[in-house]
A = this chain, B = another copy of it.
Amino acid sequence: MKEIVLRPIGWVERVEGETTEFHILPELVAGLEGLSPGEKILILFWMDRADRTRLEAHPRGDPARPLRGVFATRSPHRPNPIGATTVELLSLQGNRLWVRGLDAWEGTPILDIKIEAKGPETA
């Protein structure tokens, strides 16, 4: 199957405790119109330090748990290491957003933002 090319829409700028600040490319700021503080949003991000060759992992990274297939875990190690986390939007200002609950390193590329799914979803 053919390869798919992604261009990050932004990156994690700073992590302080539970709060993560990330920036969106200035040319994409129109895409944020309508987001409000307090909303739950789904962030897709690129776990660039993951091992893309691994097909097995210990659940929750706990070596005491037997290995499982990576698709039966949330391990960052997987062929396409896309993180998917629902977080609370704390505030936004221009191209900068602050969220609570995004466990990603500084510099992590952001791939997409969606509002939380409400009921059955169409795509």
**Is A19 at the interface (CB under 8 A from chain B)?**
no
Q: Chain B contacts of A6 at CB under 8 A?
A: 3-6, 80
Q: Which of B3, B41, B112 contacts A80 (CB 8 A)?
A: B112
Q: Is the CB of A117 within 8 A of B80?
A: no
Q: Is the CB of B31 within 8 A of A79?
A: yes
Q: Chain B contacts of A111 at CB under 8 A?
A: 4, 80, 82
What separation, in Å, do the CA atoms of A115 and B80 have in the docked complex? 15
Chain B proximity mask over A78-106: 1 for CB below 8 Å, otherwise 0: 11101111100000000000000101100
Q: Chain B contacts of A8 at CB under 8 A?
A: 1, 4
**Is A121 at the interface (CB under 8 A from chain B)?**
yes
Whether A112 contacts B82 in the complex (CB less than 8 A), given A3-B7, A46-B4, comes out as yes
Q: Is the CB of A114 within 8 A of B4?
A: no
The residue in chain B whose Cβ has the minimal distance to the Cβ of A120 is: B101
Q: Chain B contacts of A11 at CB under 8 A?
A: 1
Q: Which of B47, B55, B115 contacts A123 (CB 8 A)?
A: B47
The residue in chain B whose Cβ has the minimal distance to the Cβ of A79 is: B9
